Amino acid sequence: MIYNRNSFSLSDMSSAKASVSLDGDNDTNISKDFEPATCSGIVSNASDGEMEVCENTPNELKQTIKPFHVLMMSTATGIGTGLLVGNGRSISIAGVGGTLVGYLIIGIMLTCCMQTVGELVVAFPSMPGGFNSYGKRFIDPSVGFTTSWLFFLNWTVVLPLEICVASMTIKFWNERIHPWLFVSLCFAMVCCVNFFGARCYADADCILNCLKVLMIAGFIILGVLVNTGVAGTSGYIGLKYFHNPGFFRNEGNLFKSIATTLVTACFSTGGTEFVALSCAEQNKDDMPRSIRRASIQVLLRIAVIFCVSLFIIGLLIPYNSPLLMGSGSELTHASPYVVALTTNGVKVVPHIVNAIILLSIISVANNAMYSSSRTLHSLADQGFAPKYFCKLDISGKPFRCLCVSAVTGMFSFIAEYKDQETIFVWLLSISGLSTVFTWSMICISHLRFRSAMKEQDQSLHQLGYKSPCGVYGSYISLVICGILLIVQFWVSLFPIGSNGKPDVASFFQNYMAVPVGLLLYLGHKCYTRNTQLFISADKIDINTNRDIYWVDDVIGKKTIFKELDEDTMEQSSALSEPRNK
């Protein structure tokens, strides 16, 4: 069985009986099936920050997600409304060039951030709440409270947002269908998949992710053929639209145009940290390898799926196309991927692309219900929500949390409102900026963890996965996040077309997540009467729930500290006593 680290200290390593290889084919591997354990969910005491333990409640999520599922999550999870639909608005505001610059900035930040979260999640795979609890453990309880609730708000908003956009996407085929009919169908599908448990979720999401990746790859190939005149009816296009109307849309202030696209870029890439959230449901023996591959996969995802496909769109349609969302025209707006093909006379394929986009949007809605329910469970584990939500059902699902997610998902019926694009902008901005807070919290937590490791005289060799970017990557990500929040404040208060005059409605429409975050942070500070900004490095708990790794000289690989039961002792007799390096 896995050694319980709820009260683990480094001195316990001396009592270990054997070590076990991380390789899945090793004969000494321990069974990968985990039974639900007694709840270690906590309820914070408002007066002194002490924790109470939830009694007799199954707490550990069932570990059924495999490395291939994680690989597909890191490649395609989150590819939905932001990339496939919302980028039409970005292109109409800043041109394809401005949109690509926005993704380049976010891509640099996200690449560093994923290395950071990979290091922490391998070190603390069993921490109640996953990466949502990093703020409480490494920074300050009020930071943890704020970012956890913002993360929950993020995915709670994404669920109705995606289903609303799905009802908009269907208009490509039929403008007369009532949105509530399609919303009902999508909502029922998402609920069915999630209520069948993690394995059903992972398998369904994996299939949908494969379809998304194949669609993007097919679009890139077909786009090249259309641009060169081999397919479609437009003949050779080349760089026509890069010259007229242009690669960038510069109508007074190019910098402001690019800054306006950053929130959409954040929203589009906002599912990347999803890999870490799913770690509670991975087999621990697979985790370091799968996280390492997934972190590298993120870079390829930004470069190919996002940037290359957007470049192809820029080759095929101008930024002033009236069919793009945000163009201001009264025509039915569609995905830029569909517009790029229909405008150039491609038959049949746009319908296939639109169908896959529709499935992709439903896939992200599926992710949103999964993530919001697990986040609510995390909030209960951390003492930030009623302990009623700590309990899992007999199959290991947070059933009560899923019910809450299902209820909030009913907001998707707001799709009946006639001005759907306004709803889209409100929900997208809330989700995009909430994601920035999550990324910032992860990077600060990493810096505090490294500081605590140094202060408490512990070696980095004990880490199963060490970020190649080190602390510099966290600093880079933090600087980009800070700049993003500042420029978003500017473009929200003084939007494009306001002639330099402040627009209060635009400010709250595009910056709502920041006031909500400040309210949560200050409210928790006042309620708990906690005046400290940071937990001092020497008092940060870096041992509880932590997996310690070291290089075993016998097998020549890093191994994880485990305590073996009597049934497995005989199998592992060939292994030497572990020793820390």
The kind and range of the H/E element at 43 are strand 42-44
Which stretches in the chain have pLDDT values below 50? 1-59, 280, 562-581
The pairing of beta strand 549-552 with beta strand 557-562 = antiparallel
Q: Give the span between the Cα atoms of 492 and 517, in whole angstroms.
A: 17
Write down the pLDDT at residue 271: 66
* 3-state DSSP assignment of residue 552: strand
Residue type, 275: V
Contacts of 359 (CB under 8 A, 6+ apart): 208, 211, 212
Peptide bond connecting 245 to the previous residue in cis, omega within 30 degrees of 0: yes
Write down the pLDDT at residue 66: 59
Q: Which residues of 30-57 are buried (b: 16+ CB within 10 A; e: fewer)?
A: beeebebeebbbbbbeeeeeeeebbeeb
Q: Give the span between the Cα atoms of 16 and 575, in whole angstroms.
A: 12
* 3-state DSSP assignment of residue 240: helix
- pLDDT tens figures, 371-396: 888 889 888 887 888 989 988 888 77
Residue 38 DSSP code: B
Write down the pLDDT at residue 221: 95
Q: Is the pTM of this model over 0.85?
A: no
- pLDDT tens figures, 36-50: 333 333 333 333 333
Write down the pLDDT at residue 210: 82
Contacts of 475 (CB under 8 A, 6+ apart): 443, 447
Of 466, 510, 356, the C-alpha closest to 118 is 466
Contacts of 355 (CB under 8 A, 6+ apart): none
Write down the pLDDT at residue 313: 95
Q: Give the span between the Cα atoms of 8 and 288, in whole angstroms.
A: 20
Q: Give the span between the Cα atoms of 447 and 234, in whole angstroms.
A: 53
Cβ distance 510 to 266 under 8 Å? no
Q: Give the span between the Cα atoms of 491 and 312, in whole angstroms.
A: 28
